Amino acid sequence: MSKEGIRSAAEILRKGGALVKDACIKCKGVQVRYQGRLICINCGNESIAEEGRYVSLSSLRDIIVSKINELGDSLKGEDDISRQADIARLLIYYIDILSKIDESSKVEREEMRKRSKERRESEDDNESAK
Ligand SMILES: [Zn+2]
């Protein structure tokens, strides 16, 4: 795994890239979709993105959590320091994704709450108008 790969994947997410459910065909890594391409955040493999295969945030969260668990297990059994560094970097990246997912679901929830509050208030207006 290259440092450049991780850096550019983080860059892609910042630019509005989307995480996808389909694993990389080469290494089974997590991929991001950007400008019609799928890019693996693990090995940097690029492929053409197919439309209509977006993943929901909650199922993506499950994928990331299971990846973190897998990485945790392999870190436990890893003696090679440079491999440990690779795993640790990937863990940081996954944890970063998790916090982004939690952030955006929080925003979604707040927007939903705001909308239902507005609806309640307009219903109250109707009540008092009677
Ligand atoms: Zn890959």
> pLDDT tens, 3-52?
565 667 677 878 888 888 788 888 988 888 888 788 888 888 888 776 55
> H or E segment at 16?
none
Distance 67 CA to ligand 1 centre (A): 14
Domain count, the chain: 1
121 in any annotated domain:
no
Count of Cβ atoms closer than 10 Å to residue 126 Cβ:
8
Q: Is residue 116 part of a domain?
A: no
Asked, for residue 129, whether it belongs to a domain, the answer is no
pTM of the complete model beyond 0.85: no
Q: What is the pLDDT of residues 56-113, one digit of tens each?
A: 677 788 889 999 999 999 999 999 999 999 999 999 999 998 888 888 777 777 877 8
Q: Is residue 87 part of a domain?
A: yes
Q: What are phi and psi of 79, to 5 degrees?
A: -100, -25
Average pLDDT score over the chain: 81
- Domain annotation covers residue 119: no
Say how far apart CA 47 and CA 119 lie, in whole Å.
Answer: 44
Residue 42 CA to ligand 1 centre (angstroms): 5
pLDDT at 1: 46
What is the Å distance from ligand 1's center to 1 Cα?
9
Range of the domain at 22: 3-111
**128 located within any domain:** no
Structure tokens at 101: 């997912």
Question: Within a domain: residue 82?
Answer: yes
Per the domain annotation, does 118 fall within a domain?
A: no
Residue 33 falls in which region: left (phi positive, over 0), alpha (psi -120 to 50) or beta: beta
